[in-house]
Structure 1
Amino acid sequence: MNHFHYIDGELHAEDVAIARIAEAVGTPFYCYSTATLERHYAVFAGALGAAGLDATVCFACKANPNIAVIHTLARLGAGADVVSEGELRQALAAGVPPERIVFSGVGKTRAELDFAVATGILQINVESEPELRMLSEVAAARGVRMPVSIRVNPDVDAGTHAKITTGKKENKFGIEWNRIREVYNLAGSLPGLDVVGIACHIGSQLTEIEPFRQAFLRVRDLVDMLRADGVDIRRLDLGGGLGVPYDDETPPSPTAYAEIMRDTLGDLGCRVIVEPGRLLVGNAGILVSRVIHVKEGSTRTFLIVDAAMNDLMRPALYDAHHAIIPVAEPGPGTVLAAVDVVGPVCETGDTFARQRPLPPMAAGDLLAFGTAGAYGAAMSSTYNTRPLIPEVLVRGAEFKVVRARPSFEQMRALESLPDWF
């Protein structure tokens, strides 16, 4: 569910007309709904509670690292899952307590590990033996024992896009499940580490429950084995990955997800950490763009808009589908026509949709791209020297710019000519 809807023929975010925001901030821009963020968190956390799980929800900041978004979720009780020092600093700035922050990621630097240890976060999910040794040195040098979970690669096919699956043995993430015993033995021998659990994350945008069941059962087997070896496993970090409907997908509900977690792992007496990202923020955001030209080609019509692949990378990167709707509601009986919706960047890949049925559009009309709250602004760039676009947060009848569009002068201020010129 989201809170973007037509009122009197105009698309609104909650009680704010999208056209009003466009007039105030210009296009393109991202718009997020507070009510949707709050509802999604309540449904997800409620499902875990109803299943009787001792669960901590840590929002995967990589999906949307805007501090206003993170703060909105933190006020509801969410922690943060971060994968860089930058995300860790964003989470702290957004008010997430360090004891509710988990640091994941396959390539943490020594400086990042040192900052995380000094900050006193909940735990670090370690993904390799070299990282384990490096973290031991960093923690021992600070005279602390850092809580760690070791990320297992369970060799489970998540059935999702090849670029966002993370739990197969050929993926770069985690340590292969059949080597876990020796790696935990190593961890137990190193100073500065408090081995508290197992971490597992098999991918993003999962639309079936079975891969979760397979991964959770493998984690269960590993818990039994490690406890038999004397390892005190008391936390299970189960990652995220539950999908959202972009088109005609029907992902499992949070209730089904929580129940499969309870049925496979609920009797182990472990604290559970889950890291939803897309599920909380995907449908909470839209990208709003304005039509520049309607170009008639010899074989098709092109709708050229002022948003581009640098603003929303997912269609170019994953061939991803996003709903596209006009901000002005079409009248009853409006005839749709197939068009290609494209941006101004000098790449054929700068295409949002091919032969998408849309109502007649003209230069100056506004369009909204749905389910753009996750991995939209987070993945944006300044390709073609295009400024990053504003992000706007709506609450009821109010809206606020929570990331401003930089001017060209501000962009250029980050560059300099060398002295020899």
Structure 2
Amino acid sequence: MSLQRSERTTAGVRPFALPALRHPTVSRLLADHRALLADLLDGLGSPLHVVLPEIFEENVVRLRRVFAEAGADAEILFAKKANKADCYVRSAAALGVGVDVASSPELVKALAGGVPGHRIGVSGPEKDDTLHALAVQHGSLVAVDSPGELRRLADTARSVRRRARVLLRSRTEGQPGSRFGMSAGERESAVTLCAEFAEHIELQGFSFHLNGYSAAERAAAASEMIDHCLDARRRGAPGAELVDIGGGLPVRYVEPRLWDAFLAQNHPDQYHAGKAFKDFYPYGGQTADQAARAIMTYPVGDGESLAAKARRHAVRFLVEPGRALLDQAGFTLYRVQQVDDRRDTDGYAIVTAAGSSFSLSEQWFNSDYLPDPLLISADPVADEPFPACVAGSTCLESDMVTWRKIGFPRPVRRGDLLVYLNTAGYQMDSNESPFHDAALPTKAVLRLHEGADAPRWRLDGI
């Protein structure tokens, strides 16, 4: 009878398996320290974000090596917007990595975490005067979006009697309609203003903003900025030697072959209420290492690579990875609050997790977080295919942590744990909200030490 029920309830649903890639440290935590994770969830509440700074540090070291091997002189600035946890900033400070910020609180947290002001880059459109003042006082590098902002920044620098370090953010030929950065005419005016305000402004280079993950497009844009540096030098700005290529280094969450197979069979029937999504993150695409290498080695003229062109003209790169440095550096735990088993009527169950989809922020981009969550059962039952989507516990119809029907290997029960892997990059806290007066989820910092019986943990915070 059990076999017949399994066949009947899974017919027509056929959840597609998309297991998430796992770092060895994550695998070890999940295999050997489940009791600790369950205790942390019990004590700190659901959902709980587990953050792993040692993996962040590994990513920094590896990405530095990739740029060096490609022949590029590149300085890394961690894009803080990708995760609010203080532990990553502290790791960045310890490794001599800078931080990219876009608000006064982010700048203050970067300083408090030990990052010196000269290693902080300040981006964001049309920044306010308070952020300008903090940046100038601490010697941070400010990416300016317009001649008007440049004038305001010069006034601020004059008032605090310091010289502002500046990048001019410019629109690229490939994305002329971007709301970020200056048109060609505005850029020309800004270079002239930098000379006019030379007592208060030091032009150090150029930056740009791109959507998407095209190595060719990013390399072409960076090549344009090198040309702008050369033009600025001719016009009296000898310090124009930096090109900020931004972030845009993708992360691979699942095996490429599985990703391709998923896309080939994807259909609204595989989602709760027949939900249809127009776009997904490229979960099975390039790794950050592959993308960085492709950008730096891309030919930008007469067969010369981008890195070679930069070396020839004594131009250095700034890179602002966020997600790429957070790859595998954290995961999110939810406690199962209730299970509505609709397999006999709808063919799948609705698992309600304690918490909301605001703590898994892919829906901010009108999409779904696709890697399969792991099921950890306190009292496992016999294996039996169990198709289910995962809902949040708020009163919103749209509060679905996972719209896609997941093929759990056994029935999900109240009290079980769901583990969403690799959520540190943008997922954890980009969209979190104290909706229903719920407290924002806690972050627990874990480190595995050689020879220790159990990981050391603490609450995040400086």
Q: CA 1:141–1:244 in structure 2 vs 1: closer, same or farther (change >3 Å)?
A: same
Q: CA 1:403–1:94 in structure 2 vs 1: closer, same or farther (change >3 Å)?
A: closer
For residue 152 of structure 1, the aligned residue among 170, 185, 205 is 170
Shift of 1:115: 1.6
SS at structure 2 position matched to 1:21: helix
1-structure distance, mates of 2:435, 2:458 = 26
SS at structure 2 position matched to 1:87: helix
1:334-362 CA distance string (max 9 Å, x none) = 44333111101222321122222222211
2-structure distance, mates of 1:381, 1:193 = 39
1-structure distance, mates of 2:209, 2:380 = 46
State the identity as a percent. Answer: 24
2-structure distance, mates of 1:23, 1:104 = 39
Partner of 1:119: 138
Partner of 1:38: 57
1:293-349 CA distance string (max 9 Å, x none) = 111344241111012122222235331424211235999994433311110122232
Answering whether residue 105 of structure 2 is matched by residue 86 of structure 1, we say yes
Query: Letter of the aligned partner of 2:329 in structure 1?
Result: A
Task: Map 1:1-400; keep pairs closer than 5 Å.
Answer: 2-3=23-24, 5-6=26-27, 11=30, 17-121=36-140, 123-156=141-174, 168-177=175-184, 179-190=186-197, 191-203=199-211, 206-232=212-238, 233-247=240-254, 248=259, 249-252=284-287, 253=290, 254-260=292-298, 261-297=306-342, 298-299=345-346, 300-323=348-371, 324-328=373-377, 334-353=383-402, 354-359=404-409, 360-375=411-426, 376-396=428-448, 397-400=455-458
Equivalences, count: 388
SS at structure 2 position matched to 1:18: helix
Shift of 1:199: 1.1
| Bigger mean CA deviation after superposition, 52-61 or 80-89 | 52-61
Query: Letter of the aligned partner of 1:321 in structure 2?
Result: Y
Shift of 1:34: 2.6
Q: Is the 8 A contact 1:155 1:176 kept in 2?
A: no
| Bigger mean CA deviation after superposition, 391-400 or 188-197 | 188-197
Q: CA 1:73–1:335 in structure 2 vs 1: closer, same or farther (change >3 Å)?
A: farther
2-structure distance, mates of 1:305, 1:16 = 19
Q: Which runs of 5+ in 2 are unaligned?
A: 1-21, 260-283, 299-305, 449-454
Q: Is the 8 A contact 2:56 2:327 kept in 1?
A: no
Q: Which runs of 5+ in 1 are unaligned?
A: 157-167, 405-421
1:5-39 CA distance string (max 9 Å, x none) = 445xx825989842243234232110012331121
2-structure distance, mates of 1:85, 1:58 = 17
| Bigger mean CA deviation after superposition, 77-86 or 338-347 | 338-347
2-structure distance, mates of 1:45, 1:15 = 33
Query: Letter of the aligned partner of 1:287 in structure 2?
Result: T
SS at structure 1 position matched to 2:142: strand
CA RMSD of aligned residues (A): 2.7
Q: Is the 8 A contact 2:59 2:327 kept in 1?
A: no
2-structure distance, mates of 1:386, 1:346 = 13
Q: Is the 8 A contact 2:118 2:138 kept in 1?
A: no
Q: Is the 8 A contact 1:14 1:394 kept in 2?
A: no
Shift of 1:112: 1.4
Query: Letter of the aligned partner of 1:132 in structure 2?
Result: L
Bigger CA radius of gyration:
2
1:136-175 CA distance string (max 9 Å, x none) = 100011222211010112143xxxxxxxxxxx33332111
Q: Is the 8 A contact 2:147 2:189 kept in 1?
A: no
Q: CA 1:283–1:178 in structure 2 vs 1: closer, same or farther (change >3 Å)?
A: farther
2-structure distance, mates of 1:171, 1:382 = 32
1-structure distance, mates of 2:79, 2:32 = 24
Partner of 1:402: 460
Comparing both chains, which one has the higher relative contact order based on Cα–Cα distances under 8 Å and sequence gaps of 6 or more?
Answer: 2
2-structure distance, mates of 1:77, 1:104 = 20
Query: TM-score normalised to the size of structure 1?
Result: 0.84
1-structure distance, mates of 2:136, 2:245 = 22
SS at structure 1 position matched to 2:251: coil
1-structure distance, mates of 2:113, 2:147 = 32
2-structure distance, mates of 1:374, 1:383 = 22
Query: Letter of the aligned partner of 1:367 in structure 2?
Result: L
Query: Letter of the aligned partner of 1:358 in structure 2?
Result: F
Q: CA 1:119–1:225 in structure 2 vs 1: closer, same or farther (change >3 Å)?
A: closer
Query: TM-score normalised to the size of structure 2?
Result: 0.77
Q: CA 1:293–1:14 in structure 2 vs 1: closer, same or farther (change >3 Å)?
A: closer
SS at structure 2 position matched to 1:27: coil
2-structure distance, mates of 1:237, 1:13 = 42
Partner of 1:162: none
Q: CA 1:329–1:51 in structure 2 vs 1: closer, same or farther (change >3 Å)?
A: farther
2-structure distance, mates of 1:41, 1:181 = 36
2-structure distance, mates of 1:124, 1:13 = 46
1:200-256 CA distance string (max 9 Å, x none) = 2313xx444222222223223323433343433211122111011244322252433
1-structure distance, mates of 2:376, 2:313 = 50
